[in-house]
C-alpha cells in the first residue's frame, strides 16, 4: 500500500512561487512544469525512501529528491504511512531554511 504525500504550507508556497515565476514568460509552460513537478513529488508515495538522506533534525530524517533543477525535501513516517514534503527549492538558491513548518 502506498504512502500518503502531504505538502506543507511552506512547500505549497514554494510551488506557487515557482509556477508564478515561470508564468511571467510562459503561462502554458508554467502549468506543465508545475504539473510535472507534482507528478514527480507524488511518485514518492510508492517508493518513499528513494531520495538521499539530506540531514537529521530533531530525530527526524530529512531526505532530498531532485527533479530537474529543483530539490524536494521531505520526511518519511512509516508508522503512519505519511510523507511530508517540507520544501521545493531551486538548486541555485543554495540551502533552504528547514523549520518545523517546512
The answer to whether the CB of 37 falls within 8 A of the CB of 18 is: yes
Q: How many CB atoms lie within 10 A of CB 101?
A: 9
Give yes or no for a contact between 50 and 65, defined as CB atoms under 8 angstroms apart: yes
Q: What is the pTM of this model?
A: 0.89
Q: What is the pLDDT of residues 45-91, one digit of tens each?
A: 999 999 999 988 777 899 999 999 999 999 999 999 999 999 999 98
- Is 28 buried (19+), middle (13-18) or exposed (0-12) by CB count in 10 A? exposed
| Mean pLDDT, all residues of the chain | 92
Bigger pLDDT: 1 or 38? 38
- Whether 63 is in a domain gets the answer yes
Residue 56's domain is classified under what CATH number? 3.30.2310.20
Confidence check: pLDDT of 17 > 70: yes
pLDDT of 75 reads: 95
Specify the pLDDT at position 101. 54
What is the number of structural domains in the chain? 1
Assigned domain for 100 exists: no
In a domain, 101, yes or no: no
Please give the residue that has the higher pLDDT: either 18 or 92.
18
Q: What range does the domain containing 28 cover?
A: 4-91
Query: Is 27 a member of any domain?
Result: yes
Backbone angles phi, psi at 29, to 5 degrees: -65, -35
In a domain, 21, yes or no: yes
Q: Tell me, what's the pLDDT at 55? A: 86
| Percentage above 70 pLDDT, the chain | 95
Q: What is the 3-state secondary structure (H, E, C) of 48-65?
A: CCCCEEEEEECCEEEEEE
Q: How far is CA 90 from CA 4, 7, 79, in A?
A: 24, 17, 30
pLDDT given at position 100: 58
Amino acid at each position: 500500500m502506498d504512502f500518503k504525500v502531504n505538502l506543507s504550507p511552506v512547500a505549497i508556497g514554494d510551488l506557487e512561487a515557482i509556477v508564478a515565476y515561470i508564468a511571467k514568460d510562459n503561462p502554458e509552460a508554467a502549468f506543465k512544469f508545475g504539473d510535472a513537478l507534482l507528478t514527480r513529488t507524488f511518485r514518492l508515495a510508492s517508493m518513499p525512501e528513494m531520495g538521499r538522506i539530506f540531514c537529521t533534525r530533531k530525530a527526524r530524517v530529512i531526505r532530498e529528491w531532485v527533479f530537474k533543477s529543483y530539490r524536494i525535501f521531505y520526511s518519511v513516517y512509516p508508522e503512519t504511512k505519511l510523507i511530508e514534503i517540507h520544501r521545493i527549492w531551486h538548486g541555485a538558491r543554495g540551502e533552504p531554511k528547514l523549520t518545523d513548518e517546512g
